[in-house]
Chains A and B, each alone.
Chain A
């Protein structure tokens, strides 16, 4: 007996030691999951609402998922399906074919050959049975109303040309800042960093007038051309990355007779692929998201509008129909979302590089 009583004590202390971290993890992680769920719940709202029609949204008592009351066709008549308890308390989904005050007649949709079932009780107390019925047509409607093919073409054109411009120009500038001794370089770099703090509003009025003067109003050029002149954040990311590449490698290339451009393309660039991808994606996301630029320069040109402004126009027309609003919101975020998941690691590491120095 003595040995037996000591055994549970032994195992329980081992168990306690093994369980404690799990328990600590659970007491910490479960609340974290609750917070996360609340934080992400708008995605859920958007998705289910985008698949509903008006009654599914407005009618009281309708379920969260897009559903309609189930019905069953019996002898060429359509009857609603209700949740009916039998004598044993088991629930059945039966279609009501004849309503009576104290007694009603049902049919089992799974087994109609069995014939009508008499049920005693008040049918008004029974609940409706719902069946999932997503309204996919919302997306095709939003797709056509947004003129999605044209909108996507415009967005991609602006985004991809900008990605090219910013990646090339920021690479050159970052290379200049990391690998060359230039008199006054430290001042120039401080000026570059301080442009991060400059409010965009200070430059927007004259820039607008400039684009108006050169006849670029109502074209995509104001949304593309400025990105061929480098910007502080992306230069900063690339500079930080280039600084991690050992200088000895450039010097070896130089000794082999490579000039500055050759060194850039054969030594620096091949080692900076993740940073270049990150910068490219940053710009793509920026261009996809940009609302103010298109609002200023393209609001009168429907033919050239990118997705942000197209969705805003769509919502001005359909703001009273939540299902269409949500399906347009979903169409607007699918591409960034997919891109994010494809390049998540490189992207998130790149974000850290934009702000924090190692």
Chain B
């Protein structure tokens, strides 16, 4: 088993330069015809906007004063590196990532390991119920958590009080807001949990049987069989979570509003971009912020793909 990203390998590129017969040309034309919706969509919603974004980043395009559009060269980029709000945003996003990413990687693995254990009663029921929070719409989930984390009326602090602990102010203190956001995020890993579980179920049982014969215990089996076999899914999760986290801002936006409260603790990079581009209509600067984000993501992704050959294990014989 492997993931969508195992398609992104140079080995999958096939260059054939044979002269096409008439029949082959007809087939290729039909094929292209079926690809048309995506090809048009790719130029319209992906490639076109990406190029336009780059172009806008060298202008002072503002939707409110559009007739004054001017080339400003690298001014937006200079602003980006001196803007104190960007500095705050980058540090907020990175600090949050340092806490959220490890949880986001570990949690699906732990949950899938629990669901894959043969001692568990009714695997299907547990899987469905653990998956359930993932279908809760974002706004509903945020308001539910805001309620349960309320210092006076929320269940978490009432429970802590009952066992003799004074609960923190989860959502209004700069120290607790990140753990709170991470806790809210626990509800969003259902898909990754299912991928991981499906991959664990695909591990050949002979491997475990052989290990048992050799006297390997449960933990050793997990460490030396299960874990290597699920590295493709962990890699997939790592890539998607990294990209998700650098763009993260909707949960704090709904939870705390658009001003980065408490303090500047939720002034995420995405929040800054949203406000510059869409609250103040500064499209040129917004495009610059977006392009820098893209370059950052590109570097991270390339690094992760490069690193994957050292730790991601694709079982032999599955090459296509």
Which residues of A come within 8 Å of B, CB atoms?
A: 21, 24-25, 27-29, 32, 35-36, 39-46, 49, 57-58, 169, 172-173, 175-177, 179-183, 185-210, 212, 226, 228-231, 235-236, 260, 285, 288-289, 291-292, 296, 307-308, 311-312, 315, 322, 325-326, 328-330, 332-333, 336-337, 340, 344, 348, 351-352, 354-358
Decide if B205 is an interface residue (CB 8 Å cutoff).
no
CB contacts (< 8 Å) of A29 on chain B: these are 119-121
| 10 A-B residue pairs with CB within 8 Å | A40-B133, A46-B147, A187-B13, A189-B7, A202-B294, A285-B135, A322-B147, A329-B143, A337-B135, A351-B194
**Majority DSSP secondary structure for residues of B touching A:** helix
Decide if B280 is an interface residue (CB 8 Å cutoff).
no
Q: Is the CB of B46 within 8 A of A195?
A: yes
Q: Which of A44, A196, A203 interacts with B4 by CB under 8 Å?
A: A196
Interface stretch (choices B24-32, B77-85, B98-106, B209-217): B24-32
Decide if B225 is an interface residue (CB 8 Å cutoff).
no
Decide if B207 is an interface residue (CB 8 Å cutoff).
no
**What's the least CB distance linking A84 to chain B, in Å?**
26
Give the most central of B2, B31, B129, B297: most A CB within 10 Å. Answer: B31
Cα-based distance from A330 to B140 in the complex (angstroms)? 7
CB contacts (< 8 Å) of A291 on chain B: these are 138-139, 250, 254
Q: Is the CB of B13 within 8 A of A204?
A: no
CB contacts (< 8 Å) of A208 on chain B: these are 277-278, 283
Decide if B233 is an interface residue (CB 8 Å cutoff).
yes
Interface stretch (choices B37-45, B86-94, B173-181, B259-267): B37-45
Give the most central of A49, A202, A210, A358: most B CB within 10 Å. Answer: A202
**Majority DSSP secondary structure for residues of A touching B:** helix
Chain B, residues 9-33, CB within 8 Å of chain A (1/0): the string is 0001110100010001001101111
Q: Is the CB of B53 within 8 A of A203?
A: yes
Decide if B148 is an interface residue (CB 8 Å cutoff).
yes
CB contacts (< 8 Å) of A358 on chain B: these are 1, 202
Q: Which of B3, B130, B144 interacts with A357 by CB under 8 Å?
A: B3
Given the interface contacts A202-B49, A203-B50, A352-B194, does A172 sit within 8 Å of B34 by beta carbon? Answer: yes
Given the interface contacts A208-B278, A355-B191, does A39 sit within 8 Å of B133 by beta carbon? Answer: yes
**What's the least CB distance linking B180 to chain A, in Å?**
13
Which residues of B come within 8 Å of A, CB atoms?
A: 1-8, 12-14, 16, 20, 24, 27-28, 30-38, 40-42, 44-46, 48-50, 52-53, 56, 61, 63, 114, 117, 119-121, 126-133, 135-141, 143-148, 150, 152-155, 186-187, 190-192, 194-195, 198-199, 202, 233, 236, 239-240, 243, 246-247, 250, 254, 270, 273, 277-278, 283, 286-287, 289-291, 293-294, 297, 301
Given the interface contacts A193-B7, A199-B293, A336-B135, does A325 sit within 8 Å of B146 by beta carbon? Answer: yes
Q: Is the CB of A201 within 8 A of B5?
A: no
Closest 9 CB pairs of A and B: A229-B41, A180-B31, A176-B34, A206-B52, A203-B49, A28-B119, A206-B49, A169-B37, A182-B31
Which residue of the partner chain A has the closest CB to B136? Answer: A333
Q: Which of B32, B139, B150 interacts with A332 by CB under 8 Å?
A: B139
Q: Is the CB of A194 within 8 A of B31?
A: no
Q: Is the CB of B139 within 8 A of A340?
A: no
Q: Is the CB of B28 within 8 A of A182?
A: yes
Cα-based distance from A169 to B38 in the complex (angstroms)? 8
Given the interface contacts A205-B287, A358-B1, does A188 sit within 8 Å of B45 by beta carbon? Answer: no
Cα-based distance from A57 to B12 in the complex (angstroms)? 60
Cα-based distance from A201 to B20 in the complex (angstroms)? 41
Q: Is the CB of A176 within 8 A of B14?
A: no
Q: Which of A45, A201, A296, A336 interacts with B148 by CB under 8 Å?
A: A45
Q: Is the CB of A190 within 8 A of B12?
A: yes
Given the interface contacts A173-B38, A186-B14, does A357 sit within 8 Å of B32 by beta carbon? Answer: no
Q: Which of A40, A200, A226 interacts with B41 by CB under 8 Å?
A: A226
Given contacts A172-B37, A355-B4, 6 further A-B contacts (CB under 8 A): A27-B119, A201-B270, A229-B38, A312-B139, A351-B195, A355-B195
Q: Is the CB of B37 within 8 A of A289?
A: no
Q: Is the CB of A296 within 8 A of B278?
A: yes
Q: Is the CB of B45 within 8 A of A311?
A: no
Q: Is the CB of A201 within 8 A of B138?
A: no
Q: Which of B120, B131, B138, B146 interacts with A348 by CB under 8 Å?
A: B131
CB contacts (< 8 Å) of B246 on chain A: these are 199
Given the interface contacts A180-B30, A229-B38, does A206 sit within 8 Å of B48 by beta carbon? Answer: yes
Q: Is the CB of A352 within 8 A of B195?
A: yes
Give the most central of B53, B187, B250, B270: most A CB within 10 Å. Answer: B53
Cα-based distance from A356 to B195 in the complex (angstroms)? 6
Given the interface contacts A201-B273, A322-B150, does A176 sit within 8 Å of B32 by beta carbon? Answer: yes
Cα-based distance from A58 to B32 in the complex (angstroms)? 64
CB contacts (< 8 Å) of A176 on chain B: these are 30-35
Cα-based distance from A229 to B38 in the complex (angstroms)? 5
Q: Is the CB of B126 within 8 A of A32?
A: yes
Which residue of the partner chain B has the closest CB to A54? Answer: B153
Cα-based distance from A312 to B254 in the complex (angstroms)? 7
CB contacts (< 8 Å) of A46 on chain B: these are 144, 147
Given the interface contacts A289-B138, A356-B199, does A182 sit within 8 Å of B35 by beta carbon? Answer: yes
